[in-house]
């Protein structure tokens, strides 16, 4: 997987995980809310049904009150009460029923085939005793009881909420009930609507997740393309600078070889040839003159060797490999002071042994570049070089009292400040820090390289 793909993946993954967590939390809370809403609606339905049943039983009791309260207990009075109760009805499936306290059916307008049967042992499909529970509720003073019963209009057993009271002087249980299938149907509609709402919410969250992921991916790709273009442009500029630096170094080396070593070698060659001629074919007594020629040639050979050492030192100071960064900088400061005549104070503290070789070379080249810039442009009367090492890394600070310059403007100028940009890029290459502060009172260059490279 490419780096840009990894970056996009790492950006999208936390977003998807967060949205999934939000979706799960929203779903859980929605389900809890749906359950609470269903329970509230169910309680409201049942409360209204209970109030309705109490009202119906009160009306039925009132309709036979003149017979029950008359004190008569003959068959004609009871039959008249049964007739009145049997004629009462409400809705399609609302009726009143009568049982005696032994479970015998006395009146059942919608299921007359049950009249005369003893249903005391009747149980529903769940094994619960139906008539026994109703009788128990009536003996307790009356109340509500939920049970299963065949609905007359559909001839199918459904849940029913009954309300019964006792007529103790006649040994009767009177009651009525409301079938709850319409309540269950209403609650089922609520469940379907709530499930649809939860499903739609999940779809919205999924849509937002997809849209957000696509947006992040597109933004990441656009950013990667933009950064890639910028990086390519910087790489091309850097490659051009590297080529320019190489060509400048080759030109300088060519000038040093041509203007110094080459001319000296030609001069030495001519002097050696002249000395040979004097020794071989000249008149007697030319030996002292020939010796002087060879001595001058030997002196020039010494100069050539010194120039070779100088060029070699500029290309790669051997002292940096042999004695370390501090000794190489001390030698550089001494050479600069001898060549420019500007006093240089060098001070080293701590240890630089843990610094990688590449970082040591970069700091040394940076010091070379800084001293070259000071000699060419600063007009300084004094230079201070401080090298400090610790367990974390090494800090190099070069300060002069010259007239300073606009560091930011020079760094951004396309044709100037090549040396300054080279210093910055060298430090960036090793992961170090570079800072330059310049004013009319002087310039300070600070570079830091970590020991871990």
Domain tally for the chain?
A: 2
Q: What is the CATH number of the domain that holds 91?
A: 3.30.450.20
Average pLDDT over residues 400-419: 68
Rounded CA-CA distance 396/376 in Å is: 21
Where residue 341 sits, what CATH number does that domain have? Answer: 3.30.565.10
Q: What pLDDT shows up at residue 64? A: 92
Q: Residue with structure tokens 């940096």?
A: 320
- The residue-averaged pLDDT of 167-193 equals 86
Q: Is residue 370, in this structure, part of any structural domain at all?
A: yes
Give the DSSP H or E segment for 306.
helix 287-315
pLDDT at position 357 is 82
> Quick one: how far is CA 405 from the chain centroid?
44
Give 211's pLDDT tier (boundaries 50, 70, 90).
confident
> Pick from 154, 179, 204: which residue ends a domain?
179
Identify the band that residue 317 occupies on the pLDDT scale cut at 50, 70 and 90.
low
Confidence band of 245 (pLDDT split at 50, 70, 90): low
Instruction: Indicate whether 415 pLDDT > 60.
Output: no
Of residues 310 and 97, which shows the higher confidence score? 97
Residue 266 has pLDDT above 90, yes or no: no
| Strand positions, DSSP E, 171-320 | 172-179
What was the pLDDT predicted at 281? 63
Question: Could you tell me the pLDDT band of residue 310, with boundaries at 50, 70 and 90?
Answer: low
Q: What would the pLDDT profile of 226-242 be if each residue is shown by its tens digit?
A: 777 877 777 777 666 66
Residue 113 pLDDT class (50, 70, 90 cuts): very high
Quote the pLDDT of residue 379: 82
pTM to 2 decimal places:
0.43
**Residue of 137, 162, 136 lying closest to 148 (CA atoms):** 162
State residue 409's pLDDT score. 65
Residue 69 lies in a domain: yes
Tell me the pairing of strands 172-179 and 344-349.
unpaired
Residue after which a domain boundary falls, among 162, 179, 196 = 179
SS3 374: helix
Residue 28 to residue 16: CA distance in whole angstroms = 18
Residues 6+ positions from 23 with CB-CB distance below 8 Å: 202, 205, 206, 209
Of 153, 179, 205, the one marking the end of a domain is: 179
pLDDT greater at residue 202 or residue 311:
202
Residue 283: DSSP 8-state: P
Q: Pick 28 or 408 by higher pLDDT.
A: 28
Residues of the domain holding 92: 64-179
Flag whether pLDDT at 160 surpasses 60: yes
Q: What is the pLDDT of residues 268-278, one digit of tens each?
A: 777 777 777 76
Q: Is 295 within the bounds of a domain?
A: no
In the predicted model, is pLDDT for residue 412 greater than 80? no
Predicted pLDDT of residue 259: 65
Predicted confidence (pLDDT) per residue in 378-395, tens digit: 888 899 999 998 888 899
In whole angstroms, give the CA distance from residue 349 to residue 386.
8
More confident call, 61 vs 30: 61
Higher pLDDT, 88 or 297: 88
Q: What's residue 219's pLDDT?
A: 77
What confidence score (pLDDT) does residue 192 get? 84
Cβ atoms of 134 and 120 within 8 Å: the answer is: no
In a domain, 41, yes or no: no
Express each pLDDT in 431-451 by its tens digit.
888 888 888 888 999 999 888
Q: Which residue has the higher pLDDT, 168 or 23?
A: 168
Q: Is residue 224 part of a domain?
A: no
3-class secondary-structure state, position 239: helix
With both helix axes pointing from N to C terminus, report the angle between 418-429 and 181-255 in degrees, rounded to the nearest 10: 130
Q: What is the mean pLDDT of residues 192-209?
A: 84
pLDDT score at 3: 58
- What is the β-pairing status of strands 393-400 and 172-179? unpaired
Q: What is the pLDDT of residue 417?
A: 59
The confidence score (pLDDT) of residue 238 equals 66
Mean pLDDT, range 177-202, rounded to an integer: 83
């Amino acid at each position: 997987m490419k780096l840009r793909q990894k970056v996009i993946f790492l950006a999208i993954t936390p977003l998807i995980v967060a949205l999934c967590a939000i979706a799960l939390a929203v779903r859980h809370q929605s389900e809890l809310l749906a359950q609470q809403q269903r329970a509230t609606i169910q309680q409201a339905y049942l409360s209204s049904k209970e109030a309705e049943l109490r009202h119906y039983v009160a009306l039925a009791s009132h309709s036979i009150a003149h017979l029950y309260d008359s004190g008569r207990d003959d068959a004609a009075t009871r039959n008249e009460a049964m007739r009145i109760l049997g004629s009462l009805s409400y809705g399609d499936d609302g009726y009143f029923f009568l049982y005696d306290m032994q479970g015998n059916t006395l009146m059942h307008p919608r299921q007359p085939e049950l009249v005369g049967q003893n249903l005391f042992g009747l149980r529903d499909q769940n094994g619960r005793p139906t008539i026994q529970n109703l009788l128990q509720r009536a003996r307790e003073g009356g109340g509500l009881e939920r049970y299963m019963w065949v609905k007359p209009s559909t001839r199918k057993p459904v849940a029913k909420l009954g309300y019964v009271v006792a007529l103790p002087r006649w040994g009767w249980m009177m009651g009525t009930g409301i079938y709850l299938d319409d309540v269950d149907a209403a609650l089922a509609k609520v469940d379907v609507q709530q499930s649809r709402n939860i499903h739609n919410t999940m779809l919205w969250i999924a849509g937002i997740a997809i849209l957000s992921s696509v947006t992040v991916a597109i933004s990441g790709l656009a950013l990667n393309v933009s950064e890639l273009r910028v990086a390519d442009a910087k790489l091309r500029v850097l490659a051009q600078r590297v080529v320019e630096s190489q060509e400048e170094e080759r030109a300088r080396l060519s000038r040093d070889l041509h203007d110094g070593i080459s001319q000296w070698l030609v001069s030495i060659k001519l002097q050696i040839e002249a000395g040979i001629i004097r020794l071989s074919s000249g008149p007697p007594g030319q030996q002292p003159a020939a010796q002087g020629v060879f001595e001058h040639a030997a002196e020039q050979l010494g100069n050539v060797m010194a120039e070779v050492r100088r060029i070699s030192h500029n290309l790669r100071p051997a002292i940096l490999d042999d004695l370390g960064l501090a000794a190489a900088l001390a030698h550089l400061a001494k050479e600069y002071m001898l060549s420019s005549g500007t006093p240089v104070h060098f001070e080293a503290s701590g240890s630089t042994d843990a610094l990688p070789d590449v970082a040591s070379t970069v700091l040394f080249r940076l010091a070379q570049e800084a001293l070259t810039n000071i000699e060419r442009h600063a007009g300084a009367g004094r230079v201070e070089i401080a090298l400090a090492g610790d367990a974390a890394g090494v800090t190099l600070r070069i300060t002069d009292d010259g007239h300073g310059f606009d560091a930011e403007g020079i760094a951004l100028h396309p044709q100037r400040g090549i040396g300054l940009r080279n210093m910055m890029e060298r430090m960036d290459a090793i992961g170090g820090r570079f800072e330059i502060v310049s004013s009319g009172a002087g310039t300070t260059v600070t570079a830091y390289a970590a020991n871990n490279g």
